């Protein structure tokens, strides 16, 4: 009887699948069409497009699914080399995917909700009142602030984007503001609450991993997140100022409003269903039943307020709403939703987490994290490494929870050895992990925002100011030592 030996991977073996996957992904998913509003990427794309062999990938702008499958295959081959059996590799894939099943269910329910809310006139009503009440100059500022307040109350960036977010995209389109800017403001505001609300999963997860009280963690995050949000709001005001100076195309807005009024019954009472969903989430009703309840309410409202029959409601919940107003701006905006519209994103999440599952099962993620930790010799470098690792986890093992849990487990002892209070670790985990997750297209959060808002994450990335600034503020504090509390500076903090 022979014994089987499984050896740990080397750093090179851990790097090869990651590098190959990222290169293939980059060449496949970044195309000029999706990031046309990002001037920095335009010259890079032109150069890549002229390269032999890979140029066709850049020009085509393919989906990220196959590159992720390719990365999983490469990682699996290295697992076999390390001594794992196929059964063990497959179990790693399954374990990685299981983490995201709740997210996949929520995605499909959000698709149903969007479809029924458009058919019922809820979304058109939100857009209608938004166009009448909000001016272009303050729209981006207001969008970020509204989403920040809603997500703070609900603790859910996904619920915020799936309710008020989809309406704000429509209002922004009507006001002539580029969709990437609007999506960036929505994502910034939504993730403020996702990070700061005591109701948020990650806000509870990070202190749990680090070993610190929830409210101690929230108070400590105010030092980095508060200034980042303030600067973000100022930047949105500055961006909006350019649109305030331009003459608003009142004729185009009037046409859009007329098309909405001709196709739907518009009434303030249609704002009650989204309010009810927000209240349910605030009252700690789990996201899945709350959103499913919202979709059902949308179907009922469609039959009562818009005269739809049950067959129409079921069809829209399945395949989405198709707008036929003959006004292109309205038809493009409202032809969306349905459970089937989310299957592309669900497949993307499954492919991404299959790769992450193999990487974690084989120990390659641990090797990569350990290699990075060697550079953490000071407080500043330790914070930098933590934030960078969380961001890297969102790329390699693309799930928000893994980006908090894995680095938290890896670096907890390092913070202890450095004499730092664990709340410094929990803050860095959220500054890097929670906020970078919607910026990666194949991450569960990035894929969700892409599917819900209809904007490619790399396109809204330059305008997601909070998500970009907060990690930088955290790293700055690490190197300056400001708010980096020692373990013995407030011994009661660990218990609150």
pTM, to two decimals: 0.78
Beta-carbon-side half-sphere exposure of residue 1 (alpha carbons within 13 Å): 0
Over the Cα atoms of the chain, what is R_g? 23
Q: Any idea where the domains of the chain sit in the sequence?
A: 101-343
The predicted structure's pLDDT at residue 78: 92
| pLDDT tens column, 64-113 | 788 888 889 999 999 999 999 999 999 999 988 887 788 788 878 888 98
Exposure pattern of 382-395 as b/e (b: 16+ CB <10 Å)?
bbbbbbbbbbbbbb
Q: What is the pLDDT of residue 349?
A: 78
- For residue 488, pLDDT beyond 80: no
Q: Is 336 helix (H, G, I), strand (E, B) or coil?
A: strand
- How far, in Å, are 152, 359, 431 from residue 21 at the CA level? 36, 12, 25
User: Does residue 243 surpass a pLDDT of 70?
Assistant: yes
Which residues have CB under 8 Å from 376's CB, separation 6+? 382, 384, 385, 386, 411, 414
Q: How far apart are CA 233 and CA 146, in angstroms?
A: 11
Average pLDDT over the chain, rounded to an integer:
84
Cα dihedral value 155, 158, 162, 168, nearest 10: 80
Residue 440: count of CB within 10 angstroms of its CB: 24
> How is residue 18 written in tokens?
């990651």
Q: Determine the distance from the C-alpha atom of residue 459 to the mean position of all C-alpha atoms in its chain, rounded to a whole number.
A: 13
Q: Is 268's pLDDT higher than 60?
A: yes
Return the structure tokens found at 437: 């997750």
pLDDT value, residue 51? 55
pLDDT for res 39: 52
Q: Do 230 and 466 contact (CB within 8 A), yes or no?
A: no
């Amino acid at each position: 009887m022979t014994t089987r030996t499984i050896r740990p991977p080397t750093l090179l073996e851990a790097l090869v699948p990651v590098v190959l996957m990222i290169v293939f992904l980059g060449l496949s998913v970044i195309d000029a069409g999706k990031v046309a509003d990002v001037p920095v990427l335009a010259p890079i794309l032109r150069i890549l497009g002229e390269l032999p062999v890979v140029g066709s990938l850049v020009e085509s702008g393919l989906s990220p699914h196959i590159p992720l499958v390719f990365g999983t295959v490469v990682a699996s081959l290295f697992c076999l080399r390390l001594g794992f059996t196929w059964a063990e590799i497959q179990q790693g894939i399954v374990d990685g995917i299981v983490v995201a099943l709740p997210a996949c269910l929520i995605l499909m329910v959000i698709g149903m909700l969007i479809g029924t809310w458009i058919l019922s006139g809820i979304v058109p009503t939100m857009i209608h009142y938004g166009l009448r009440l909000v001016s272009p100059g303050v729209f981006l500022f207001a969008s970020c602030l509204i989403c920040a307040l809603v997500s703070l109350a609900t603790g859910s960036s996904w619920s915020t984007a799936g309710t008020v977010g989809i309406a704000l995209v429509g209002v922004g389109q009507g006001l002539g503001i580029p969709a990437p800017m609007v999506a960036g403001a929505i994502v910034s505001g939504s993730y403020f609450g996702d990070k700061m609300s005591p109701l948020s999963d990650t806000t509870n997860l990070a202190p749990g991993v680090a070993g610190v009280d929830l409210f101690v963690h929230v108070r400590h995050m105010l030092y980095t997140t508060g200034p980042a949000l303030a600067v973000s709001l100022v930047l949105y005001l500055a961006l909006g100022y350019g649109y305030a100076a331009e003459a608003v195309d009142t004729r185009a807005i009037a046409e859009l409003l007329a098309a909405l009024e001709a196709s739907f019954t518009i009434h303030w009472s249609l704002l009650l269903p989204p309010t009810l969903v927000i209240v349910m989430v605030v009252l700690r009703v789990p996201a899945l039943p709350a959103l499913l309840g919202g979709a059902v309410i949308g179907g009922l409202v469609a039959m009562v307020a818009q005269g739809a029959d049950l067959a129409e409601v079921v069809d829209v919940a399945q395949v989405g709403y198709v707008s036929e107003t003959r006004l292109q701006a309205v038809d493009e905006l409202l032809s969306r939703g349905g459970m089937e519209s989310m299957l592309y994103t669900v497949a993307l999440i499954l492919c991404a987490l299959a790769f992450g599952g193999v990487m974690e099962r084989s120990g390659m993620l641990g090797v990569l994290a350990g290699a990075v930790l060697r550079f953490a010799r000071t407080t500043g470098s330790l914070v930098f490494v933590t934030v960078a690792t969380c961001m890297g986890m969102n790329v390699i093992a693309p799930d928000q929870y893994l980006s908090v849990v894995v680095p938290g487990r890896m670096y907890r002892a390092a913070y202890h050895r450095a004499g730092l209070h664990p709340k410094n670790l929990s803050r860095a985990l959220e500054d890097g992990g929670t906020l970078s997750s919607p910026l990666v297209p194949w991450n569960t959060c990035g894929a969700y925002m892409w599917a819900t808002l209809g904007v490619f994450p790399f396109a809204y990335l330059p305008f997601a100011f909070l998500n970009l600034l907060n990690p930088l503020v955290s790293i700055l504090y690490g190197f300056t030592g400001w708010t980096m509390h020692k373990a013995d500076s407030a011994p009661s903090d660990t218990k609150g």
